[in-house]
């Protein structure tokens, strides 16, 4: 497949970067909506920090690009291992406990 030229992008000086660790994905027949949030323990209703709306074609191309980049990353730095026994959401949504007292599993 021939390599396409990727345009250079202008990054505005006031561009605000956000760290997110959760994405909620919904869709209609014509678009996908990705709502990004930062989930932290004790926050019951996190705010959406950023919303992306993409066509199904754009999302599929985005997914392909993400898979290719993850493959390059893992080739260079090693496999990204996912938790087996529990998920990040399990850790984030454990009931609050008294300070110094561990959560019961």
Global pTM? 0.69
Q: For the chain, which residues make up each domain, given as ranges?
A: 18-38+48-56
Report pLDDT digits (tens) over 81-98.
Answer: 887 776 666 766 766 665
pLDDT at 37 over 90: yes
Contact 66, 80 (CB under 8 A): no
Q: What is the pLDDT of residue 88?
A: 66
pLDDT at 100 over 60: no
């Amino acid at each position: 497949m021939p390599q396409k030229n990727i345009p250079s992008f202008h990054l505005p000086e006031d561009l605000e970067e956000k760290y997110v660790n959760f994405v909620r994905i919904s869709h209609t027949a014509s678009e996908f909506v990705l709502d990004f949030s930062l989930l932290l323990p004790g926050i019951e209703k996190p705010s959406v920090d950023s919303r992306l709306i993409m066509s199904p074609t754009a999302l599929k191309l985005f997914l392909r690009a993400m898979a290719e980049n993850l493959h390059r990353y893992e080739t260079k730095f090693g496999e990204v291992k996912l938790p087996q026994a529990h998920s990040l959401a399990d850790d984030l949504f454990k009931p609050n406990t008294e300070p110094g007292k561990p959560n019961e599993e």
